[in-house]
A and B are shown apart, each in its own frame.
Chain A
Amino acid sequence: MSETTTAVEATVRLRGISKTFSNGTTAVSKLNLDLEPGSFVSLLGPSGCGKSTVLRMIAGLIDPSEGEVTGSREAGRIGFVFQEPTLMPWGSALANIRLPLDLAGVKPAEANARARDALAQVGLEGFADAYPRELSGGMRMRVSLARALTTEPDILLLDEPFAALDEITRFKLNNDLLALWQAKRFTAVFVTHSVFESVYLSQRVVVMAARPGRVSDDLAIETDLARGEEFRTSADYAQLCRRASEALERAMAS
């Protein structure tokens, strides 16, 4: 709310991070990445190139085998949206959204109010009492997004959140996510394997290559157009997508 001024300070820094799993797979190798506070960055790359691993290291869910992550691991700073909605099937939409607040010991009345706010932000006012099974895929993803936003995170990590949705729903959620980001200016790290989605959403596209996972390209997405349907159909967009596609091809060839 009013704390965003203090929030948007730390730059997330990944310094020479590598991750080798116990089975010997090196998912990420010597990766460097700085994330400007309040920026929207996409990680674009073929599947298996270590995008999820990088995200999980930023979140502190796994530790790098080498190198250092700073600026992201203080508790409560992070919201995470998984590829699956990852909701508790036994809880209503509201109960799911309230979870981070409940776990932090926020008083029920306040937690409810804040969860309702978050629910309204994702356009699901009427669905507080609905169970996940009763919601469509897109609505479940909105609930998941609302849950990540209830704690007012400084950093929002999204791991291919809309990959399983149909195109129409995906476009809508893309726009909603952009609107939320513009309103709140959290640092967004969006993992995707869709060139179009990454260009449409972000200010910067970091292209990753596989085996071992590393950064192969870093593109600034600069345009004078406001993000929205107008941008999606513009020549700028087409050209930026072409550049990102080429970068992705290079990454896959390397």
Chain B
Amino acid sequence: MNKTSPLRRFGLPIGLGILTLIVWEGCVQALNVSPFLLPGPVAIYHALVDDWGLLSEALLVTLQITGLAFVCAVLGGGLIAVLFSLSRSVETTLFPYAVIMQVTPVVAIAPLLIIWIDNVRLALLACAWLVAFFPILSNTTVGLNSSDHNLRDMFRLYGATTRQTLFRLRMPSAMPYFLTGVRISGGLSLTGAVVAEFVAGTSGQGSGLAYRILEASYQLQTPRMFAALLLISLTGVLIFLATSFISQRILGRWHESAMEREK
């Protein structure tokens, strides 16, 4: 891989971002575009500041659902994968259903969940979890079955128990796969939470960012829509950075993907 200097790595995309903002604001001003149609960055910034009370509360709600869904997905996906790995017949029996749950779009299931589960938060959480857990399950399942066959023989030779093989060989072998699942699922937790909020469309207290976008669109508060959108994007970026960082730390010195190669 080519090693780019930090200055280029951060400077170039940030430069492009600033340039885009300037051109955007310039065009909006010069062409006198209505802020209902396309607000400029300055108007969006004002919306963000003015509506901060409303938006920050919504941000917190979305963060909560996303975070909880993510944690449940990591634990649930990981545990179910381990369960699958312990028994072929359990895996063969249940895996197709996990796939069905995955391939059915969450937007289609969400209304049902919302009917079944009284507590809206809980329903949203269930939706987000449904979307987020599968990548962890499928990646970890593959990982648990992909340990080096010579190492497996080595464990057999030394009379390792099922438990020892699981903890000392299969789980560590699965770690890079699991972490890939975690990175994907981090983003999906947010997607799941946002989609579920749109579907639920609940108003009033305790609504998340997605609902604020809907609400703002009804009121033609386009700058506020953008402000909420910005917060969702930032949340996504933050999740991406955090999961990448954690994965880098865990794989540390041992895995190819986490190694810095000197040239």
Contact B254 A103 (CB under 8 A): no
Q: B50 an interface residue at 8 Å Cβ cutoff?
A: no
Q: Mark B143-161, 1 if CB is under 8 A from A, else 0.
A: 0000010110111111110
Given the complex, which residues of A lie within 8 Å of B156, measured CB to CB? 61
Given the complex, which residues of A lie within 8 Å of B154, measured CB to CB? 80, 82, 86, 99
Q: A68 an interface residue at 8 Å Cβ cutoff?
A: no
**Cβ-defined partner of B150 (8 Å) among A82, A90, A104, A131:** A82
Contact A89 B254 (CB under 8 A): yes
Task: Determine which residue in A75, A90, A100, A133 has the highest number of CB atoms from chain B within 10 A of its CB, and name it.
Answer: A90
Q: Which residue of A lies closest to B153 (CB)?
A: A61
Q: A189 an interface residue at 8 Å Cβ cutoff?
A: no
**Cβ-defined partner of B157 (8 Å) among A61, A102, A132, A134:** A61
Tally chain A residues at the interface, Cβ within 8 Å.
Answer: 25
Tally chain B residues at the interface, Cβ within 8 Å.
Answer: 21
CB contacts under 8 Å to A, within B153-184, are: 153-160, 164, 168-169, 172, 175
Q: How far is the CA of A131 from the CA of B168 in the complex (A)?
A: 16
Given the complex, which residues of A lie within 8 Å of B172, measured CB to CB? 88, 90
**Cβ-defined partner of B158 (8 Å) among A86, A100, A134:** A100
Contact A75 B159 (CB under 8 A): yes
Contact A88 B151 (CB under 8 A): yes
Q: B118 an interface residue at 8 Å Cβ cutoff?
A: no
Contact A84 B150 (CB under 8 A): yes
Q: Determine how close the nearest CB of chain A comes to the CB of B168; give it in whole angstroms.
A: 7
Q: B46 an interface residue at 8 Å Cβ cutoff?
A: no
Contact B175 A90 (CB under 8 A): yes
Q: Determine how close the nearest CB of chain B comes to the CB of A225; give it in whole angstroms.
A: 35
- The answer to whether residues A104 and B256 also contact, given A61-B153, A90-B175 and a CB cut-off of 8 A, is no
Q: Determine how close the nearest CB of chain B comes to the CB of A160; give it in whole angstroms.
A: 13
Q: Determine how close the nearest CB of chain A comes to the CB of B66; give it in whole angstroms.
A: 30
Contact B157 A78 (CB under 8 A): yes
Q: A244 an interface residue at 8 Å Cβ cutoff?
A: no
Given the complex, which residues of B lie within 8 Å of A102, measured CB to CB? 168
Contact A103 B153 (CB under 8 A): no
Contact B254 A132 (CB under 8 A): yes
Q: A188 an interface residue at 8 Å Cβ cutoff?
A: no
CB contacts under 8 Å to A, within B54-72, are: none
Contact B253 A131 (CB under 8 A): yes
Contact A99 B158 (CB under 8 A): yes
Q: Mark B193-224, 1 if CB is under 8 A from A, else 0.
A: 00000000000000000000000000000000
Contact B254 A90 (CB under 8 A): yes
Contact B155 A103 (CB under 8 A): yes
Q: How far is the CA of A56 from the CA of B154 in the complex (A)?
A: 11
Q: How far is the CA of A119 from the CA of B221 in the complex (A)?
A: 70
Task: Determine which residue in A56, A88, A132 has the highest number of CB atoms from chain B within 10 A of its CB, and name it.
Answer: A88
Q: How far is the CA of A6 from the CA of B227 in the complex (A)?
A: 79
- The answer to whether residues A88 and B164 also contact, given A104-B159, A133-B253 and a CB cut-off of 8 A, is no
In the complex, 27 of the A-B residue pairs with CB atoms within 8 angstroms, ordered by the A residue number, are A59-B157, A60-B157, A61-B153, A61-B157, A75-B159, A76-B158, A78-B157, A80-B153, A82-B150, A82-B153, A86-B148, A86-B150, A86-B154, A88-B169, A89-B254, A89-B255, A103-B158, A103-B160, A103-B164, A104-B158, A131-B253, A131-B254, A132-B254, A133-B253, A133-B254, A133-B256, A151-B158
The 3 closest A-B pairs by CB, nearest first: A86-B150, A103-B158, A90-B172
Instruction: With A100-B158, A103-B164 given, name 13 new contacts (CB 8 A).
Output: A61-B153, A75-B158, A75-B159, A82-B153, A86-B150, A90-B172, A99-B154, A99-B158, A103-B159, A104-B158, A104-B159, A132-B254, A134-B253
